[in-house]
Structure 1
C-alpha cells in the first residue's frame, strides 16, 4: 500500500527566519516558493539531495507549538548525517546549541538535537 514518505509539512511563525534556517543553515534546496494570497500564506517546497521532502508554510498568527513538555503529535524531524561532530560544529558557529551527544541503545548510533526557530526539535543521527 504505502511506497515512501512523500513529504513533511511544517507551519512556522516567522517565514523569513524559518526559510533562512532550513535553506542557509540546514542546506535544503528550494524547489518552489509561492504566496497564496487567499490564505495570506507562503508555501516553500524544499528538497534534500534532490529529493523533495519538506513543505514550509506560513499562516497569520499560528498558535505556538509545545515542545516541552513533549506534546501529542510530531515529536521531531530527524536527518542522517555523516559526521556528527562536524554537524555540531557547523551549528555552534551559527550560535545554534546542540544537546549532548547520546547513543541509541538499540543501534549504538550517536545522535543529538537542536531546535528550529519555532522550537521544533531537529535530530541529527549519525550514519
Structure 2
C-alpha cells in the first residue's frame, strides 16, 4: 500500500498503543527478547512502572505495570498489528516464548477496490492476552 497523507496535517503518524501488563517483566522481556524491540524510555517503580518499547520507524508499544489478569481482552481494540518482513519467523519466535496461537500463518489476498493486496498474516495472544497480528506483504 502506498501511504496517503492525512487531509488535515501531512505529518500525522501512528505513535503508540498502550497495554497494562499483569507481569511487567515478562511482557518487557517478550517485546525485547522475542520480538527484538528496544526499551526507549522507562520510568516508575512497582505498579507505577512504564516503558516505551520502540518497534522501529518512530512507532511504540507502551507497557504499564499493574494490570489485572483476564481471560480475553474485552474492549474496542480487536488487535494491533506489526508489519514484519517474515511473518513465520515472528510467529515461531512467539510460540517458542510460550505465547498461544490465535491463527497460524496464512496467505490472503485482500480484494480491495483500489487493487489486490497479497499478504501473509498470523495472530498470537501476547503475555497479557493482547492479540497481536504479524503482517507481511507478499
> TM-score normalized by structure 2?
0.73
> Which residue of the other structure, out of 35, 48, 55, is the alignment partner of 1:41?
48
Pick the aligned partner of 2:105 from 101, 108, 112. Answer: 101
CA distance in 1, matches of 2:70, 2:100: 21
Q: Distance in 2 between matches of 1:43 and 1:104?
A: 38
Which range is displaced more, 77-86 or 13-22?
A: 77-86
Aligned to 2:14: 5
Deviation at 1:7, TM superposition (A): 1.5
Match of 1:20 in 2: 29
Matched, 1:123 2:127: no
Q: Distance in 1 between matches of 2:118 and 2:100?
A: 23
Correspondence 1:38-117 to 2 at 5 A: 40-49=47-56, 51-59=58-66, 62=68, 64=70, 66-67=72-73, 71-98=74-101, 99-102=103-106, 103-106=108-111, 107-117=117-127
Instruction: Report SS of the residue matched to 1:108.
Output: strand
Whether the 8 Å CA contact 2:124–2:133 is kept in 1: the answer is yes
- Residues 6 and 49 of structure 1: CA distance in aligned 2, closer, same or farther (over 3 Å): closer
- Give the RMSD, CA atoms, in angstroms: 2.4
8 Å CA contact 2:35, 2:90 repeated in 1: no
CA distance 1:109–1:23, shift in 2 (3 Å): same
2:44 aligned counterpart, secondary structure: strand
Q: 1:83 to 1:72 in 2, by over 3 A?
A: same
- Per the alignment, do residues 36 and 104 of structure 1 end up closer, same or farther by CA in structure 2, a change over 3 Å counting? farther
1:49-105 C-alpha deviation (Å, 9 max, x unpaired)? 25241211112x5363633xxx43111111111122222333343343442233253
* Superposition TM-score, scaled by structure 1 size: 0.78
CA distance in 1, matches of 2:39, 2:76: 26
User: What number of residue pairs does the alignment pair up?
Assistant: 121
Segments of 5+ residues of structure 1 without an aligned counterpart are none
Q: Is the 8 A contact 1:104 1:111 kept in 2?
A: no
